Amino acid sequence: MKRKNALALVCAILAVSAVFAGGGSDGKKSDGKIILKMGDNLPDRKNGYGAVIETINTEFKAIHPEVEIVTESYQDQPWQEKVKIYATANQLPDVLKYWSFGGMMKPLIDAGLVEKMKIADFKSYGYMAGSLEGNVFDNELYGIPISGDMWVVYVNKGLFKKAGVPVPTTWDEIIASAPKFKAIGVTPMVTNGKEGWPLCELFDNISQRINGDFKRVDSAINRKAKYTDPDFVQAAAYMQKLVKAGVFQENLSTSDYGDARNMFGQERAAMYMMGSWEMSLATDQNFSEPFRNNLDVIKFPVVKGGKGSADDVLAWFGGNYIISSTSKHKDIAYEYVKYLGKRFGEIAWETQACFPAQKVTPRANDTVVSKKLLQIAADAKSTSGTPGLDRSDSVFKEDHQELIRQLCALMITPEEFAKKLDASAARAATQE
Partner 1 sequence: MNSLFNNKKVVALLVLPGLCVMLFAIAAPLVISVIFSFVKWAGFGKIRFIGFGNYARLIKDEVFWRSLINVLALILVTVFIQNVFAFFIASMMTKLSGGLSRVLRTIYFIPATLSLVVVTRLWVNIFHPDYGVLNKILRLIGAGDAAKAWLGNPDTALWAVIWIMIWQGFGWALLFFYGGLMTVPKELEEAAIVDGANRGQLYMHVVLPYMMPVVQSIVIIDVISSMKQMEMAYLSTEGGPGNTTQFIALYLYQRAFKYSEYGYGNAISVLFVIIAVGLTLVIQRMFRKSVDQI
Partner 2 sequence: MNGMMERKPMIAQKNYVHEMVTLRIFATILLVSIAIAQIFPFVWIFSYSIKKSGDLFGPELLSFPGNPQWGNYYKAFFDGKIPLYLSNTLKIVIPSVAFATILPFMLAYACTRMEWKLKKLVWLLVVVGMTIPIHTTLLPNFIWYRTFRLLDTHLGLIISNVAFSMSFNTIVFSGLLAGIPRSMEEAAFIEGAGYSVILPKIIAPMATTGFVTVGVQTFLSHWNEFIMANTFLSTELKRTLPFSIILFSGQYVSDYAVQFACMTLVALPPLVLYFILSKWILAGVTAGAIKG
Summarize as ranges the residues that interact with partner 2 (CB under 8 A).
Answer: 3, 7, 10, 13-14, 17-18, 20-25, 37, 43-45, 70-75, 78, 85-86, 88-91, 93, 257-259, 261-262, 265-266, 268, 284, 286-288
The helix/strand/coil state of 115 is: coil
* Bridging pattern class, strands 34-40 and 144-145: unpaired
Pair 314, 151: CB distance under 8 Å: yes
CA gap 330, 332 in Å, rounded: 6
Give me the 211-250 binding string for partner 1, x by CB under 8 A, dash otherwise: --------------------------------------xx
Q: Which of the listed partners (partner 1, partner 2, none) does 375 bind, with a CB threshold of 5 to 8 Å by partner kind?
A: none
Q: Which of the listed partners (partner 2, partner 1, none) does 126 bind, with a CB threshold of 5 to 8 Å by partner kind?
A: none
**Main-chain phi, psi angles of 302, to 5 degrees:** -100, 165
Q: Does 421 bind partner 1 (CB under 8 A)?
A: no
- Nearer to partner 2 (CB atom), residue 186 or residue 412: 186
Q: Which of the listed partners (partner 2, partner 1, none) does 72 bind, with a CB threshold of 5 to 8 Å by partner kind?
A: partner 2
Q: Does 419 bind partner 1 (CB under 8 A)?
A: no
Q: Nearest distance from residue 139's CB to partner 1, in Å?
A: 20
The region of 9-17, 358-366, 380-388, 391-399 touching partner 1 under the rule CB under 8 A is 391-399
Restricting to residues 33-72, name those near partner 1 by CB under 8 A: none
Q: Nearest distance from residue 22's CB to partner 2, in Å?
A: 5
By CB atoms closer than 10 A (0-12, 13-18, 19+), residue 120 is exposed
Which residues of 164-216 form beta strands (DSSP E)?
Answer: 187-190
Pair 189, 153: CB distance under 8 Å: yes
Beta-carbon contacts of residue 139 (< 8 Å; ≥ 6 apart): none
Among 133, 398, 415, 423, binds partner 1 (CB under 8 A): 398
Restricting to residues 261-290, name those near partner 1 by CB under 8 A: 263, 268
Alpha carbon of 404 to those of 102, 198, 308, 368, 421: distances in Å? Answer: 21, 10, 22, 33, 9
Give me the 111-150 binding string for partner 1, x by CB under 8 A, dash otherwise: x-x-------------------------------------
Burial 313-322 (b: 16+ CB within 10 A, else e): bbbbbbbbbb
Q: Does 11 bind partner 1 (CB under 8 A)?
A: no
Q: Nearest distance from residue 38's CB to partner 1, in Å?
A: 20
Q: Does 73 bind partner 1 (CB under 8 A)?
A: no
- Nearer to partner 1 (CB atom), residue 271 or residue 373: 271
Q: Which amino acid is at 179?
A: P
Q: Does 415 bind partner 1 (CB under 8 A)?
A: no
Pair 56, 339: CB distance under 8 Å: yes
The helix/strand/coil state of 355 is: coil
CA gap 162, 181 in Å, rounded: 9
The secondary structure of the chain in percent helix, strand, coil, rounded to multiples of 5, reads 50, 15, 35
Q: Does 6 bind partner 1 (CB under 8 A)?
A: no
Residues that bind partner 1 (CB under 8 A): 77, 80-81, 84-85, 87-88, 107-108, 110-111, 113, 194, 249-255, 263, 268, 393-395, 398, 402, 405-406, 409, 411-412
